[in-house]
Amino acid sequence: FNTLEQLCINFTNEKLQQFFNHHMFVLEQEEYKKEGIEWEFIDFGMDLAACIELIEKEYKKEGIEWEFIDFGMDLAACIELIEKAHFSLVHYAGTVDYNIVGWLDKNKDPLNDSVVQLYQKSALKLLAHLFVAHAGTEETGGGKKGGKKKGGSFQTVSALFRENLGKLMTNLRSTHPHFVRCIIPNETKTPAGLLGQLEEMRDEKLAILITMTQALGRGYIMRREFAKMMERRYDLHTMK
């Protein structure tokens, strides 16, 4: 079974895939309407908002073990259920199984202050930059040595991860993205494994690529500003 680290990875994939879908299926069709092209909006069924909301939504209820106890379940049976706490999420690439044993300890895994300070003084500029504003090193008193940490400055692993992911998505939304979709043709890295992989490419993991191709085929793939088109093609016109 997968654990907390894999959920964070898959959550990132969901956010990036949703960003891709929004640009390829929603904004693409909105552009047609802005240009006055006769176009009937097509819902390609690629909205991943439900899965994303399920992962990042905050639940106020007490733990599931207390709910079972309230219903009269035997405590030993409840503990056994918790120890076998598996669940599955339907991601865009397929269903993934998880096990939550040990997640709380992993989520409360803070970096030692001395380690953070060591990273901040690293000769590698990128590494030092990543830990400039690390939550575990915030101090009161204008940042002087010996100052006490601000109350509530500690962040869980998942909270810090979600915050950084949010910043990444904000940066991406401020750009004009171009996408390159990659396919691993031979995951097993064995001779003659390509053909087998090509057969597997027909499954749901590549349905998004097929849908994207269909969407682009119905639309207008190439777009150039009129001035740039004339600048590039005018010589051909004068040659006639």
Task: Check pLDDT > 80 for residue 219.
Answer: no
Mean predicted lDDT score pLDDT of the chain: 76
Q: Domain 1-110+152-179: which topology? A: Methane Monooxygenase Hydroxylase; Chain G, domain 1 (1.20.58)
**pLDDT at 141 (0 to 100):** 42
Task: Check pLDDT > 80 for residue 218.
Answer: no
Q: Quote the percentage of the chain above a pLDDT of 70.
A: 67
pLDDT-derived band of residue 60, with 50, 70 and 90 as boundaries?
Answer: low
**107 neighbors 114 (Cβ within 8 angstroms):** no
Higher pLDDT, 146 or 107: 107
Q: Among 89, 82, 84, which residue's Cα sits nearest to residue 8? A: 89
pLDDT-derived band of residue 151, with 50, 70 and 90 as boundaries?
Answer: very low
**pLDDT at 72 (0 to 100):** 54
Higher pLDDT, 62 or 56: 56
DSSP state of 177: -
pLDDT-derived band of residue 146, with 50, 70 and 90 as boundaries?
Answer: very low
* Residue range 77-88: mean pLDDT, rounded: 71
Distance CA 137, CA 146 (A): 11
* Residue range 82-88: mean pLDDT, rounded: 75
Q: Among 161, 238, 204, which residue's Cα sits nearest to residue 46? A: 204
**pLDDT at 203 (0 to 100):** 57
Q: Give the relative orientation of helices 4-21 and 49-56 as an angle to the nearest 10 degrees.
A: 140
The secondary element (H helix, E strand) that includes residue 158 is helix 157-173
Q: Among 1, 6, 8, 5, which residue's Cα sits nearest to residue 164? A: 8
Distance CA 105, CA 138 (A): 23
Q: Among 181, 220, 191, 231, which residue's Cα sits nearest to residue 16? A: 181
